[in-house]
Amino acid sequence: MFRPKIPEKVELSVKAKWDGDMGGVVKINESEIRFDIPEEYGGPGRYACPGEVFLAAIGACIINTYLYFAEEKRGNIRDLGVGVSSSIKLTSNGYNFEHVDITIMLKVRDGWEDEAFKLLDMSIKYCYITKLIRKSVPINIYTYINEQGPIKWTLGA
């Protein structure tokens, strides 16, 4: 597989706009993500709240980074799913994330488990979003490979 040269710098940009009610829409190229104020804060809760969108970005970054590192070995991957959860706590300066829990479910070809784990470890360490958040909160990672596990480790604060 031909891999293009990796750029040294990539500019990322989105535009968020109020929807006239209790939420809005983020435009990303030709796609959009709708967001809302959750019901527990008096909003309609029609769409994801910004915290959920952030957690989705963590999971997506891990998957993309894993697939990038796996490159020509992707034929060994049978299934890959990432669940991300967290709690936020109200403090004197507003809500703050307490931790981020990441559960990775990976199914691979028999005999490829060790290589799969090495690639997961690299993916979590190289994902630019997990690099950012581990400076602020602990990241607890639970990994299941071929339904064996969990292998648990913690990164960050």
The pTM of the full predicted model, rounded to 2 decimals, is 0.91
Max CA pair span of the chain: 54
Nearest by Cα to 140 from 95, 91, 85: 85
Looking at the domain covering 74-156, what would its CATH class be? alpha beta
**What are the residues whose beta carbons fall under 8 Å from the beta carbon of 137, sequence distance 6 or more?**
86, 97, 98, 99, 100, 156, 157
Which pLDDT tens digit goes with each residue over 86-138?
Answer: 999 999 999 999 999 999 999 999 999 999 999 999 999 999 999 999 989 99
Residue 73 is classified by DSSP as G
Residue 98's identity, in one-letter code, is E
CB contact at 8 A, 78 and 111: no
